[in-house]
């Protein structure tokens, strides 16, 4: 049944309830940790290549894993105390868990819709998904505009985490409003890297991570890099052929000069976190959205080829930490 035939759906039918239960279970199973999420996004994209957001999500998720493992690598423990590192890890983990819970259930519902050759997006509300996405999925089903759907999913994901993570009193006070967060360039909060098997790095950064509009803009800029015809085959080759361990050595191993691994494997470092979902309401009904978020105008104010920048940044970070150690009394 199409949403356009009867917009009033009080309760799902028995068959629909069964589909919803399967979606909830698979989403839960694959939302285990950063490794399982990254793989799930990529697997879905390889099966449904029209779902370009899923490839973007997989590559951004890789960066989330790198950021987590940095915190327990050779360098960051010399710079940040254990409670701060734990808070940062939980911030990354919570945001990634919330996005996956929301977005992967949408992808699975799309998969069921294609198998039935009939849209099932009226069921999104039973999966705690915003009414904003119900409309956007229906538009995609009718017109097949995968770039618009990509943008809509970027808009949605950043709004999904805005209140429960970015504006949450605990994270706001103990993470985002701290002096430590002002070093976001060094902590890689604001830079997303796309590696290649040739040892090159591409990507983009954002200033003002706390702004939902700026995070959406970053997502759109990242998508424009990822699907640039010049680079896309290189990124896909890396994603398909490089196992994601969440150590930065995943891509540093391809550098021309041999670099020793100085960040650990995620599953050897962190336990599985048991999350609880707290009802947040529908962000679209509560806050609405800005039309500019759908603007197709994307400007790269800085170079997207970041290999040299990255290596310089690493040297700066290590020098800063070494200097701190030098002037810290034992």
SS3 226: helix
- Angle at CA of residue 323, ends 320 and 325, nearest 5°: 110
Q: Give percent of the chain with pLDDT exceeding 90.
A: 68
Radius of gyration from C-alpha coordinates of the chain: 20
**Cβ neighbours of residue 65 closer than 8 Å, sequence gap 6 or more:** 34, 35, 38, 244, 245, 246, 266
pLDDT at site 288: 85
Mean pLDDT of 265-280: 92
DSSP annotation of 305 reads B
Q: Is residue 3 part of a domain?
A: no
Residue 113 to residue 107: CA distance in whole angstroms: 10
Q: Is the separation of the CB atoms in 143 and 117 below 8 Å?
A: no
Domain limits at 65?
14-326
Are 31 and 97 in contact, with CB atoms under 8 Å apart? yes
CA atoms lying within 13 Å on the CB side of residue 154: 27
Residue 9 lies in a domain: no
Six token digits for residue 132: 């904003």
What is the arithmetic mean of pLDDT over 190-211?
90
Residue 262 CA to residue 90 CA, distance in Å, equals 21
User: Would 195 be classed as within a structural domain?
Assistant: yes
Give residue 4's pLDDT.
42
Which residues 6+ apart lie within 8 Å of 159 measured at CB? 130, 132, 212, 283, 284, 287, 289
Task: Record the pTM.
Answer: 0.92
Structure tokens at 17: 């309830």
CA 261 from centroid of its chain's CA atoms: 24
Task: Give per-residue pLDDT as tens, 276-298.
Answer: 888 888 999 998 888 899 986 78
The count of domains in the chain is: 1
Q: DSSP string spanning 133-174?
A: HHHHHHHHHHH--HHHHHHHHHHHHHHHTIIIIIS-HHHIII
Measured CA to CA, the distance from residue 52 to residue 44 in angstroms comes to 10
> Would residue 310 count as lying in a domain?
yes
Which range (54-68, 88-102, 128-142, 185-199) has the least confidence? 185-199
Instruction: Give the Cα separation of 63 and 70 in Å (integer).
Output: 10
Those residues whose C-beta lies under 8 Å from the C-beta of residue 208, and which sit 6 or more positions away, are 214
Q: pLDDT at position 178, please?
A: 61
Report the 10 Å Cβ neighbour count for 214.
15
- 5 belongs to a structural domain: no
DSSP 49: T
């Amino acid at each position: 049944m199409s949403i356009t035939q009867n917009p009033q759906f009080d309760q799902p039918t028995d068959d629909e309830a069964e589909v919803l239960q399967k979606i909830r279970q698979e989403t839960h199973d694959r939302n285990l940790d950063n490794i399982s999420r990254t793989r799930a996004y990529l697997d879905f994209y390889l099966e449904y290549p029209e779902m370009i957001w899923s490839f973007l999500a997989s590559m951004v998720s890789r960066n989330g894993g790198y950021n987590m493992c940095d915190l327990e690598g050779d360098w960051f423990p010399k710079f940040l105390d254990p409670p701060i590192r734990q808070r940062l890890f939980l911030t990354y983990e919570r945001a990634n868990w919330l996005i996956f819970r929301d977005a992967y259930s949408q992808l699975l519902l799309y998969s069921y819709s294609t198998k039935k050759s009939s849209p099932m997006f009226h069921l999104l509300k039973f999966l705690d998904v915003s009414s904003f996405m119900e409309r956007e999925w229906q538009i995609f089903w009718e017109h097949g505009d995968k770039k618009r759907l990509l943008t809509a999913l970027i808009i949605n994901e950043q709004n999904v985490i805005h209140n429960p993570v970015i504006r949450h009193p605990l994270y706001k006070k103990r993470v985002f409003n701290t002096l430590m967060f002002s070093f976001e360039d060094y902590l890689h909060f604001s830079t997303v890297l796309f590696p290649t098997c040739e040892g090159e790095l591409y990507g983009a950064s954002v200033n003002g991570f706390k702004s939902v509009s700026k995070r959406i803009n970053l997502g759109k800029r990242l998508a424009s890099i990822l699907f640039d015809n010049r680079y896309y085959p290189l990124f896909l080759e890396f994603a398909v052929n490089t196992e994601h361990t969440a150590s930065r050595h995943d891509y540093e191993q391809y550098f021309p000069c041999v670099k020793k691994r100085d960040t650990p494997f995620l599953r050897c470092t962190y336990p599985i976190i048991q999350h609880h979902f707290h009802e947040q309401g529908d962000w679209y009904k509560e806050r609405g959205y800005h039309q500019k978020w759908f603007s197709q105008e994307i400007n790269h104010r800085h170079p997207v080829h970041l290999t040299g920048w990255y290596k310089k940044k690493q040297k700066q970070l290590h020098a800063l930490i070494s200097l701190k150690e030098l002037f810290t009394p034992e």
